[in-house]
Structure 1
C-alpha cells in the first residue's frame, strides 16, 4: 500500500446521465477505476431511503418503483436556485445531489488506492456559466475534496487524444487543428483545438447546454405515449412510475438502434401492456431536428471563426450519444473527412481530466506524487490554454431606450488569462459611490445578462464634478477566476473584488436589479483590451470598440 501522503492525479467526469473517475498510473497512463460495485460508469442517479443516499445502478432500479424518492439529471439544473427536491422533509439542491455522486466515485477509488483523495479535476461543459462552474466546485468540496479544479469537457477530450495517441501525428507537422464534437447525455459541446507536441490551445467553443441524448429519448417517448394514448385512451405521461419504466425502455432501444435496424419496447400503464417495434428510420425521423441542431451549431462555430473544413485536420467524436449512426453520418457529410472515433465515448473525458490533474501536479515532489519522474517530465512540458465561453462585463442602461443591457468588456472565446480596461464618468455632481454589477452573457438572447456580483467604489472625494473618470478593469486569471477593480483616477480611491460565486448568487433577471441614481456613471471612452500574462493591464488597446455615449453604468 502506498504511503498515505501519496497524491494521485484524479479526473472526474460528472455527467448528466453517467459519471466516472480515472487516475494516472505511475507511468502517466489513464486508468478508469470501477465503483464499489465494479462498474466503470456510474449512473448519475440518487435514491433517498431514510438517512441513506444510494447512488448508481441500485438507485436507477428503484426509480421505477419509487420515482418520488429518486433524483436524476441534476447536472441540467446546476446553478438554478429555484430547483430542488424535497424528500422526507429534506431539501436537496443540484449541488447536494452532485456531491453524493462525486462521493460515490471517491469511495470506490479510495477503496482501491488505499489512500484518501483530497484533490481532483472535475469536468464541466464549455458552455457552463461561472455560477455553474462554482457550483461544481462546491459539489466536489461538499463530497470531501479539499481542492477542486475544473476543465471544459471538450478540452479534456482533446488532452486525452493528444497525450494518448495524438503526439505521433503532431511530430510530423507544426500544428494540428481538431474539432472536438462531444454529444453527451445532457449537453452538447464543441471546441476547436490547435495543438503541437507541447501545447494545447482552444481557439473557440460552442454548444448547447440543453441538447443531449436525453432529448432523443424524449422524442421517442412522446411518439410512443401518443400512440398508446390513441389506442387505449390512457396516457402514460400522467403516471410517474409508468413514465420511469418507459424511459428505461427507451434508453435501451436507443442504444440497440445504434447497432441494429430494429428494436422493440414495452409500455405498461393503467393495467394495459403494449409492445411497439421501432426501426432506425422511424427513430431518425422523430429526432431529425436534434441532429440538425448539432449540425447548425457546428457550422456556425466554424463560420464565426472564419474557418472552413479545410482548416480542420481531424474531427474527434466523443460522448455517449455520439454513438448514434445519424450523428456520425451527419459529421461525415458536412466535414468530408474520416472521423476519429478512437476515443472512448464513456471514459475519454475522465481520462483527459486525469491528464490535466497530472499536469497541475507535475511540479510536485517525487516523495508525494504517484507519478514517476518520466511521467512528470512529460506532463510538465505540456500546457493548455482555454477560452471563456461567455462574454463578461458590466450592467449598463441604454440612455436612448432605458433598457438595462450587458456591456461586455471580455468577449466570448477570448484566450485566457486576459484583462480589459474601460473608463466611465460620474453622472451627478458630488457623486459619493459607484457600484458595478458584474455580468456575463446568457446562453439565450444576448441581451439577457446574468449577474455574478458587485464591485463598489465608496466614499468618493467631495465635490466631484459630473464626468469624473472611473476606470474599470476586469481580469480573468489562468484559472478563469474573475477579478474586478474600479478606481477613481483623481484621488486613486479604488475597490477590488474577486467574484466568488455561490449557488444563492444565481441568475437574476435584469428587471429584478434596482439601485439608486447616484450609482450611475457614463461611458467615457473605448476599452483597453489585452491578453494578460501578469497582473498589470497593458495600456495599448487591442481592437478597441467605438465609444458608446448613449450608455451608462447601471448599479
Structure 2
C-alpha cells in the first residue's frame, strides 16, 4: 500500500554574487532563512570561489573559520572565480598556476556545498533534523539548454556532506520562484491592509541579478489553484557584474586622465574592482561616491563618481532588459491584465531600474520585493508542492529510496504509473504550487521516401501543462535497434505540424533494443524539470524507458573518464 507525503527540501538559490538557502516548516508563514546569524549574511553567502593551486583543490567559498573566499582572492586574484553560473557552459576553464583546467561544475558544486553546510548548522541551531534534499533554481535563459540544466544538477548530486548524498528533488526558473513567494505572501501572509483581495492577479517579474536577467509572467487564478507560468525569458549575460566592470573601467579612466596612474599588477586591479563594487552599492542610496586609492609612494588622491554618470554608463545594458520586458508586455497586451511589476535580484535595487520600468509600465505599480530572499523562499515553497510516495512499512520523514508519483494532464489520454528509469532518476508529479507549460512544439523524426533529409512530425503542442505526454504512436524497426529522434520547434509560436530537421532543434536520439520488424508503442513526456522521458512498449508488453537525464549523465561520465 502506498500513501503520499510532501517532500522536505531546502530552497537553494546559487546566485552569481550571493547564495541563499531557506526552509519552510509552516506553509502559512514565510520560509526561514537558513544562514546562521553570527556570520552576518543577511544579503546571502558570497559565492566568489578561490581555487587552490596547483591541483585546483580545495575550492574555498565560505567557512565558519575563514569566512568568505574573497579575502583569499584579494591576495591572489588569478585564482578566483566570480559569477560561476555565467561560466557553466564553458565546462572547463584554464587558470593560472593550475596543473590542469578547472571544472566549472566543481566550483558550482562547492558553492552548493557551503550553502548546505551553513543550512544544516542553522537547522541544528533550531533543533531541526539534517536536510540534504534541495529544490534548485536557475536563470530562465537556461530553460532551453537541457545539457546545462542536467550538468548543474549532476554536479551538485556528486556531493557528499557529512556522509550524506545531496539530492535535487526539483528545479524551477528563478523568476517563477520569485512569483511564488510574492503571490503567496501577498495573498496569505502580508498585513491585512495590503493583502491581495482578488483571486485573479498577474505579476510580471523583473529579476536583475549579478550575472543574468530574467523576466516572467505568472498568474494566480484562484487561491486553491497552483500559480501558472504564462511566459518566461531571459538574457544570460547581463547583470550586476557588468555594471561592476563598467565602473571599474571608468575608475581606471579617471585615474589615468587625472594622475597618469595605471594599476600595475593583478592585486592592484583587484583592489580597484572591489572599489567599483563598493561605489555601485553606495550609489544606490547616494548621489555621489568618493574613491581614494593609494597611488605611488603612499600618495592618496580622491576622485568622485556621480549617480547620474553611472546611470549614463550602464544605460545601454539596462535598455536590453527593458526591451525584453516590453516585448513580453506587448505580447500579452489585451490578452492578460498585468496587475504589478515585481523587481527582484540585487541589481534591481538601483533607483534607475524602477524609474525606467515605470516609464514603460503605463501606470502598473512597480515595486522592489525581497531582492535577496525571494528566489530561495519561492523554491522552499515549491518544495511543498512535490509529492513523494511512501510505501507500506516506511516511516514518514525517514529517508528511503522512493519514486515521485506521476500525475498527467487530464487532457492527455495516457497515464503512467510512478516508476524509475534505468539510472534511478525519479519522475515527478505535477507540482501543486506552480504549473508550467510547454513553450515549444515537440516531434519525432521520420524517414520519407524520396526525401533524404526526412521530416519531423510534431506530436506535442505548445501550451500543454507539464508534465506533458504525447499520444502513443507505433514505430517499427527493420533491425534490432530502434532509434527515436526527438526534436522541438525553434520558435515559441510554431503553427505548422511538420518541419524539416534543419529547421528544428535536435534534443536527443534515444536507442532501444527491440524485436526486428515488429511494432512498438512509443510515447514521450516533457517533464516539469524539462527533461524528456521516452517510453517504448515492446510486443510482449514489457516497457523500456530512456531519459535525457540518463543520456547526459552517461556523456558526463565519459568526459570525466577521458
Per-residue displacement from partner, 1:326-379 (whole Å, max 9, x unpaired)? 11011111112354536210011111111112332699899639xxxxxxxxxx
Matched, 1:123 2:137: yes
- Going from structure 1 to structure 2, the CA distance change for 1:402 and 1:108 (only over 3 Å counts) comes to same
Paired residue for 1:164?
185
Paired residue for 1:19?
19
Paired residue for 1:537?
none
Matched, 1:293 2:320: yes
Paired residue for 2:397?
368
TM-score calculated relative to the size of structure 2: 0.72
- Going from structure 1 to structure 2, the CA distance change for 1:89 and 1:440 (only over 3 Å counts) comes to farther
- Going from structure 1 to structure 2, the CA distance change for 1:401 and 1:184 (only over 3 Å counts) comes to farther
- Residue from 35, 40, 61 that aligns with 2:71: 61
Contact in 1 for aligned 2:187/2:195 (Cα 8 Å):
yes
Paired residue for 1:521?
none
Per-residue displacement from partner, 1:207-244 (whole Å, max 9, x unpaired)? 111111112222222333344445566654x8432332
What's the CA shift for 1:458? 6.1
Paired residue for 2:39?
37
* Structure 1 portions without partners, runs of 5+: 1-5, 370-379, 507-555
Contact in 1 for aligned 2:93/2:101 (Cα 8 Å):
no
Contact in 2 for aligned 1:204/1:413 (Cα 8 Å):
no
- Residue from 271, 284, 288 that aligns with 2:311: 284
Deviates more, 1:404-413 or 1:330-339: 404-413
Q: Distance in 2 between matches of 1:232 and 1:390?
A: 56
Contact in 2 for aligned 1:79/1:135 (Cα 8 Å):
no
- Residue from 74, 80, 100 that aligns with 1:70: 80
RMSD: 4.4
- Going from structure 1 to structure 2, the CA distance change for 1:494 and 1:354 (only over 3 Å counts) comes to closer
Contact in 2 for aligned 1:419/1:475 (Cα 8 Å):
yes
Paired residue for 1:350?
376
- Going from structure 1 to structure 2, the CA distance change for 1:108 and 1:174 (only over 3 Å counts) comes to closer
In structure 2, the residue corresponding to 1:185 is in which secondary structure? coil
What's the CA shift for 1:499? 1.0
In structure 2, the residue corresponding to 1:166 is in which secondary structure? helix
Aligned residue runs from structure 1 range 179-194, under 5 A:
179-194=204-219
Per-residue displacement from partner, 1:136-195 (whole Å, max 9, x unpaired)? 322332333442121211111111112222347887434111111111111111111111
Paired residue for 1:262?
288
Q: Distance in 1 between matches of 2:456 and 2:236?
A: 21
Deviates more, 1:189-198 or 1:476-485: 476-485
Q: Distance in 2 between matches of 1:262 and 1:327?
A: 17
- Residue from 246, 259, 278 that aligns with 1:219: 246
What's the CA shift for 1:420? 4.3
Q: Distance in 2 between matches of 1:449 and 1:269?
A: 57
What's the CA shift for 1:502? 3.8
Paired residue for 1:456?
511
Q: Distance in 2 between matches of 1:421 and 1:228?
A: 66
- Going from structure 1 to structure 2, the CA distance change for 1:368 and 1:87 (only over 3 Å counts) comes to farther
What's the CA shift for 1:260? 1.0
Per-residue displacement from partner, 1:282-305 (whole Å, max 9, x unpaired)? 11111111111111101112333x
What's the CA shift for 1:70? 1.8
- Going from structure 1 to structure 2, the CA distance change for 1:234 and 1:440 (only over 3 Å counts) comes to farther
Matched, 1:481 2:531: yes
- Going from structure 1 to structure 2, the CA distance change for 1:109 and 1:494 (only over 3 Å counts) comes to closer
Paired residue for 2:330?
303
Contact in 2 for aligned 1:385/1:415 (Cα 8 Å):
yes
Per-residue displacement from partner, 1:262-293 (whole Å, max 9, x unpaired)? 11335668879754311111111111111111
- Going from structure 1 to structure 2, the CA distance change for 1:101 and 1:413 (only over 3 Å counts) comes to farther
Matched, 1:326 2:327: no
- Residue from 106, 122, 141 that aligns with 1:112: 122
Deviates more, 1:155-164 or 1:135-144: 135-144
- Going from structure 1 to structure 2, the CA distance change for 1:430 and 1:201 (only over 3 Å counts) comes to closer
- Going from structure 1 to structure 2, the CA distance change for 1:22 and 1:94 (only over 3 Å counts) comes to same
Paired residue for 1:517?
none
Deviates more, 1:295-304 or 1:23-32: 23-32
* Structure 2 portions without partners, runs of 5+: 1-5, 399-429, 495-501, 557-562
TM-score calculated relative to the size of structure 1: 0.73
What's the CA shift for 1:135? 2.3
Matched, 1:138 2:154: yes
Q: How many residues align?
A: 481
What's the CA shift for 1:449? 7.2
In structure 1, the residue corresponding to 2:303 is in which secondary structure? strand
Paired residue for 1:336?
362
